Chain A
């Protein structure tokens, strides 16, 4: 079986000479939920932008379900990789929720009833169907984040890439989003600093530090490896002990 996502030997330096990635290798199988952990400046966002070809020009390869991320494949790659950015105000740029969710599939050439069906399906998955005609600035932050997830689900992606999905969410919105992510039958790569959230949702984690993958294993084992965590500026929140969380 082809992996959902396969990154091999990926290295990248920004035009100003700052090198962010030094040879990243990783593979994610279909249906897995994987957390990508790492301190600030580890190259997490740079890696995410490579997954759908928004950044390119370095060394190494990225493949999504067997299809290499190369210029001629960009339209299909961007359908297959659904990136949810950290700030929903960046992601939601159309005047209404409906139009925003329709933006992706419409770019894929869908129209009419088929397009409407996609929009409904995606909004239903995140429980936002009744807000279809609202402008995004009338929604709460948690609702906007959910709509942001719907905007990429509407493209029926192979893999969902979430950049800090739990940031700025209150505990209730955080749990609602977790329920939604668990209910989806889709490969998920979640970039986060939120260790409890990673443990809750992702059986497997990768640690990106200094532009390379330094650890790959079960989330619980990684979080319990005190030396590894400390070496890469990762910390558990005060009072949080993964051992107390039922497996």
Chain B
């Protein structure tokens, strides 16, 4: 995925056709993996702040300008904005596809094998495991608040909510300590053991490389014909 994004980023924004090809690749992958658009589209919302930034660029760019619908826009800004918009979108879609097709556990395993520091992988793994537990605790506390007549109405209820957040933090912290005891009880030495032996075959690697290689071909052609 990272390799594919690099090829996308390396492509000059003025070669409009190249991005059409990249988009077509991703659509093909989504089709192959049978991931419907209603899974992908809502998840693309994370990109919104970048889109806003990209939309502002034409107004603040310098250099030669063009008139579009009566607005004076910078050509360089327009191109840079387009570049951010399209590259960002392709990158986000690509990440969503990876997340939607790969079980979270395999992602963690992959990070570990790619030599991402073990501490970070462990933290991510615990986040994955305990999001639900802490979330449940949070909704139980909310129920308990409401059962005693609390209603969140404006600024005066903030102290109560802040206190709840504080006690949720302490509860989670104490749970963390209990989990640590449970881990030590089973011989934890500071590193999660690798449980699934490495089973990446040459075929897996080739399958994984199809997209970056195709992307690289497009990027090189785009640079060549610029």
Contact = CB atoms under 8 A, between A and B. Distances in A.
B195 A102 contact: yes
B182 A91 contact: yes
Chain A interface mostly: helix
Interface of A: 49, 52, 54, 75, 78-79, 81-83, 85, 87, 89-96, 98-99, 102-104, 106-108, 111-112, 115, 135-137, 151-152, 155
B187 A136 contact: no
Chain B interface extent, by class: 20 to 34
A107 B186 contact: yes
Contact of A89 (B175, B186, B194): B175
A112 B193 contact: no
A83 B182 CA distance: 8
Nearest to A93: B179
Given A103-B193, A108-B187, A151-B186, A95 B175 contact: no
Contact of B187 (A89, A92, A94, A104): A104
Contacts of A136: 129
A103 B192 CA distance: 8
A54 B184 contact: yes
A114 B10 CA distance: 47
- 6 cross-chain pairs, A with B, having the tightest CB-CB distances, nearest first: A106-B193, A107-B187, A104-B186, A90-B178, A137-B132, A95-B105
Nearest to B191: A107
B185 interface: yes
Interface string B124-168: 011011101100000000000000000000000000000000000
Contacts of B169: none
Nearest to A90: B178
Contacts of B175: 87, 89-90
B174 to A, nearest CB: 10
Given A93-B130, A95-B128, A106-B193, 6 more contacts: A78-B186, A78-B187, A87-B178, A91-B182, A111-B197, A115-B195
B120 interface: no
A137 B131 CA distance: 10
A115 B197 CA distance: 11
